[in-house]
Amino acid sequence: MNIMQMVKQAQDMQKKLKEAQDELAKTDVVGEAADGAVKVTCDGQGKFKSIKLTAAALNPDDPDSVDPEVVTMVEDIVTIAILQASMKATKLMEDKMKAVTGGLKIPGLF
């Protein structure tokens, strides 16, 4: 196999990797708990997108007593906390990878 064939194969593989990553980013994956009282949606890459709660998630003994605005507020503050943690984790990973790779960008690592 000559160098030109190897380069072409590497380019084809890089293109396929990018296509797979794009497809995963567009895919929704939903996890549920407590018989659907809590639903979390991530993309196919595992990045958090949203959380949905029912009143029963906040007060299973008396869900009718929960104000819908409280449900929305809790969803919002949990979303903010998860997104902050995710951003911090991504930054930490990027910093660690840069230290290992000497700043060289390697597709698929970060």
Alpha-carbon distance of 11 to 99, in angstroms, equals 26
- Rounded CA Rg of the chain: 21
Does 86 fall in a domain?
Answer: yes
Can you say how many angstroms the Cα of residue 70 is from the centroid of all Cα atoms in its chain? Answer: 25
Taking the C-alpha atoms of residue 97 and residue 52, their distance in angstroms, rounded to an integer, is 34
The encoded tokens of residue 29 equal 């994956």
The count of domains in the chain is 1
Q: Domain of residue 60: give its range.
A: 25-100
Confidence of residue 110 (pLDDT cuts 50, 70, 90): low
> Is 1 part of any domain?
no
> Is residue 39 over pLDDT 60?
yes
Helices (H) and strands (E) in the chain, counts: 3, 3
Taking only the tens place, the pLDDT of each residue in 4-32 is: 888 888 899 999 999 999 999 999 999 99
107 part of a folded domain: no
Does 108 map to a domain? no
Q: What six digits make up the tokens of 45?
A: 């890459």
The CATH number given to whatever domain includes residue 64 is: 3.30.1310
The tens digit of pLDDT for each residue in 62-97 reads: 999 999 999 999 999 999 999 999 999 989 988 888
Please give the model's pTM, rounded to 2 decimal places: 0.74
Q: Is 9 within the bounds of a domain?
A: no
